[in-house]
Amino acid sequence: MTEAKTDIWQFQTQLAEKLLAWSAASVTGGVASLFFGDKFWRGFGSQCAGWGAIDALIALFGLRNAQTKANAPDAHTPERQTRERANLRRILWINFGLDVGYVMGGTALALTRGKHNPFLRGAGWGIVFQGGFLFLFDLLHALLLKE
Amino acid sequence: MLADVSERTNTIQTILNPAWYQGHNRRSPYFEGWYFKLVDRTEAHRYAIIPAVFLTEGGEGPHAFVQVFDGVNGKMTYVPYPLSDFWAAEDRFEVHVGPNVFTTTAINLDIRHPDLTLQGDITFHDPHPWPVTLFSPGIMGWYAWIPLMECYHGVLSLDHALAGGFTIDGQAVDFGGGRGYIEKDWGQSFPSGWVWMQTNHFDAPGTSLTGSIAMIPWIGRAFRGFIVGVWHNEILYRFATYTGAKTEYLHINDDVVAWLITDRLYYLMINAYRGNAVDLRGPSKMDMGVRVPEMLTAEIKVRLATRRGDHTIFEGRGRNAGLEVAGDLDTLAGKPL
């Protein structure tokens, strides 16, 4: 029994769409916190807005990339799909490793320089929040991309 | 407490294995049926074999059955069995209805009915099930996790080769080298209106199309949901409400179902040409009284292409297509897009 494999370009597109939705929510929530929050929430919101903006750029690049690649002459051959699947899986696992670093860095910031500075404490936990999401996001999608 | 945990674990396991019988611990009204499509190598014999169980307090009462649809001669035979003759494994897909046995890899039939005698074994080689993941356990996507939906759907094999044969009313029919397809439905009743189509007989072998669109009751309202899969060149292209795909149009008349679906990358144009339908029996909450006009003689023209560049990924005409166009079609086709 051989489970059917889903189209890698649709997978990449849906991955980017989910990241885009997260980035929109992050930027909206982050900007609102910057305007209406106290020092802690301004720090937290600054990270959400910043990371959300970067995520949006990455997602838009991913969408464009999938659209372009889906038109390549060999885009719909099993060999190319397998290769791209392996590439995307590798990128997700590398990102997953970086995400661990973000979470640790954010925690360190919150607990050290943020100890007496509410803005930096908020920024630190903001990094943990964004890094934590990406940690789960990258891990789950890497696992979903079965061999 | 331990029994509760074990029951919940079993429920999760069955959801992650859509082929398995999902009805352990279910009460009436409930139905579950598997659809085995078998087409021999010459395409002169086309059958749909539907084993099912139906739990109800109304009508004929709870019972199991095997429905045999001869798609060439347009003959339907409904063979009922007492509920006690139904058995389903809890840890795999294996279902017995009377002396008939059904699994993902074979069916063994021994039907003796005044209108039909059918005996024999057919095995399935290299079935290709719809992928199952934690967040998308089969063709239903994440909707598979939603309890109390009216009807669930599963695709157990998009395409596979057949071996073996049947003796049908005394005539031997060899299915060796033919192609098959397996799916299933379960829940409380069929939707109020739906279109379903399937074919894996394109000029390019190893290509399969399965799709359905239906009115889905949802939190006191209803929406038009659809799921379509095109499996071609070992790649499954999914178009569904839950993937963000959109139905651009759905036109239904007496001759054709024309359906255009798009997502961010592709468009999928489907024209299903209707043949003569025969009424199969489908479940309502009360009885097996829903008329399901079905045919295995339809043809489906398909074009899958990229939106940017209009690069054709697949274009073909599928033969021996299963097609059902049933229920409240005005609502289905007329629903604002």
pLDDT confidence band for B4 (50 / 70 / 90): low
Structural domain including A79 reads: 8-144
Asked whether residue B58 carries a pLDDT value surpassing 80, the answer given is no
Chain B: closest CA distance from residue A82 (Å): 10
| Whether the predicted pLDDT of B286 surpasses 80 | no
A113/chain B closest Cα distance in angstroms? 39
Q: Does A4 touch chain B (CB under 8 A)?
A: yes
Cβ–Cβ gap A66/B265 under 8 Å: yes
**Residues contacting residue A14 through CB under 8 Å, at least 6 positions apart:** B243, B244
Of residues A4, A67, A70, nearest to B128 (C-beta): A4
pLDDT at site B88: 95
Cβ contact B126:B179 at 8 Å: no
Across the A/B interface, how many CB contacts are shorter than 8 Å?
79
Average pLDDT, chain B: 91
Nearest-10 Cα torsion for B243, B247, B252, B257:
-60
Count of domains for chain A: 1
Give the pLDDT mean for B123-145: 93
- CA pair distance B325, B231, nearest whole angstrom: 22
pLDDT band at A128 (very low <50, low <70, confident <90, very high): very high
Provide the pLDDT confidence category of residue B337 given band limits of 50, 70 and 90. very low
Question: Is the CB of A81 inside 8 Å of chain B's CB atoms?
Answer: yes
Residue A2 is assigned to a structural domain of this protein: no
**Interface contact A6-B263, CB threshold 8 A:** no
**Is B104 near chain A, with CB under 8 Å?**
yes
pLDDT tens across B187-199, in order?
Answer: 988 888 899 999 9
Main-chain dihedrals φ then ψ at residue B48, nearest 5 degrees: -120, 125
pLDDT of residue B7: 58
Question: Can you give the pLDDT at residue A134?
Answer: 98
Q: Residue A1 domain-assigned?
A: no
Taking contacts as CB-CB distances below 8 angstroms, the residues of chain A near B129 are 1, 3-4
* Residue B233 contacts A, CB cutoff 8 Å: yes
- Which residue in chain A has the smallest CA separation from B265? A67
Range of the domain at B92: 2-334
- Which residues are CB-contacts of B103 (< 8 A; sequence separation ≥ 6)? B92, B93, B94, B95
> Half-sphere exposure (CA, 13 Å, Cβ side) for A74?
7
* Nearest CB to B127; choose among A1, A9, A140: A1
| pTM of the predicted protein model | 0.92
Q: Which of A6-15, B10-19, B68-77, B216-225 has the lowest average pLDDT?
A: B216-225
Contacts of A13 in chain B (CB under 8 A): 263-265
Q: Is B312 an interface residue toward A (CB < 8 Å)?
A: no
Classify residue A3: in a domain, yes or no. no
> Which of B38, B50, B8, B14 minimizes the C-alpha distance to B282?
B50
Residue B194: how many other CB atoms lie within 10 Å: 24
Which pLDDT belongs to residue B291? Answer: 79
Which residues, including other chains, have CB under 8 Å from residue A132's CB and lie 6 or more apart?
A99, A103
For residue A81, the chain B residues in CB contact (below 8 A) are 235
Q: What is the mean pLDDT of residues B9-13?
A: 77
- Strands B235-240 and A5-6 come out as parallel
**Is the pLDDT confidence value at A123 over 50?**
yes
Residue of B nearest to A77 (CA): B233
pLDDT tens digits for A77-107?
999 999 999 999 999 999 999 999 999 999 9
Report how many domains make up chain B: 1
Percentage, residues of chain A above pLDDT 70: 99
Chain A residues with CB under 8 Å of B124 CB are none
Is A17 part of the contact surface with chain B (CB cutoff 8 Å)?
A: yes
- Residue B264 to residue A17, Cβ atoms within 8 A: yes
Residue B25 pLDDT exceeds 50 = yes
Structural domain includes residue A23: yes
| Residue A3 in contact with partner chain B when CB distance is under 8 A | yes
pLDDT tens digits for range B146-174: 988 889 999 999 999 999 999 999 999 99
What average pLDDT score do residues B200-219 get? Answer: 90
E-state strands within A27-137: none
In DSSP terms, B100 is beta-bridged to: B97
Contacts of B238 in chain A (CB under 8 A): 6-7, 10
The residue ranking higher by pLDDT, B192 or B47, is B47
Q: What angle do CA A17, A23, A24 make, to 5 degrees?
A: 90
Contact A5 B236 (CB under 8 A): yes
Quick check: B127 contacting A, CB < 8 Å?
yes
Q: Is the complex ipTM more than 0.95?
A: no
Q: State phi, psi for A18 to the nearest 5 degrees.
A: -65, -40
